Amino acid sequence: MLEELSNRQSDQRKVQAHKRPGKLGNHGNLLEGMDLFLPKDSYRICGAKGGILLLLSTEKKGNHLLVKIGGELDLSTSPRFREKVEEELNYDPSIKHLVLDLQDTTFIDSSGLGVILGRFKRISAQGGKLLAVRVPSHLVKVFELSGLLRIMEICPTPEDAQKSLLGG
């Protein structure tokens, strides 16, 4: 069963992630040694034994929402990801675009791809774009094979994504 720990703070705080217990197959120790700076709204989704499965943070920047994802976006975590992003989009109707920072994302399965596609459908219905930044090479391959690169732009940094959204 997943538990959610949430903090809503106006200042940034540093979160030291812990290793997830048990074996993780081919993608190594989840969140091992990872330091994340999680602005404003940060969420840790934990497994029943307390290991961190997913770290999320959201930050509004102009007319887009930046979502930082750390860990695995899979069958067990994608429903909470969807809920948190939808909560932010519902809270602030001025958000037009969605930018996913995947630098610390270790794994995405078909459930994770599906939840990303669902957010694209919502954003695009409002004339918005879906962008991803700091995407690890193993995830670029997943996006290529799934066809998501046809609907999602990949940028090297959040600043490059912001320039792209501004037409620059």
Query: For 74-106, how does the pLDDT look when each residue is reduced to its tens digit (9 = 90+)?
Result: 999 999 999 999 999 999 999 999 999 999 999
Residues 6 or more apart whose CB falls under 8 angstroms from that of 40 comprise 8, 9, 10, 12, 57, 58, 59
* Residue 2, φ and ψ in degrees, nearest 5: -90, 140
The verdict on residue 116 lying in a domain is yes
The verdict on residue 98 lying in a domain is yes
Q: What is the CATH number of the domain that holds 84?
A: 3.30.750.24
Q: What angle do CA 90, 62, 4 make, to 5 degrees?
A: 45
The verdict on residue 19 lying in a domain is no
The verdict on residue 83 lying in a domain is yes
The verdict on residue 16 lying in a domain is no
Range with lowest mean pLDDT among 3-12, 62-71, 152-161: 3-12
pLDDT interval class at 49 (50, 70, 90): low
Range with lowest mean pLDDT among 52-56, 102-106, 144-148, 157-161: 52-56
- How many structural domains is the chain composed of? 1
pLDDT of residue 167: 84
The verdict on residue 50 lying in a domain is yes
User: For tokens 């959610």, what's the residue?
Assistant: 4
The verdict on residue 146 lying in a domain is yes
Among 54, 40, 35, 34, CA closest to 7: 40
**pLDDT > 90: percent of the chain:** 66
Which domain, by its residues, includes 55? Answer: 41-165
- 100: helix, coil or strand? strand
Among 63, 124, 116, 117, CA closest to 93: 63
pLDDT interval class at 50 (50, 70, 90): low
The verdict on residue 21 lying in a domain is no
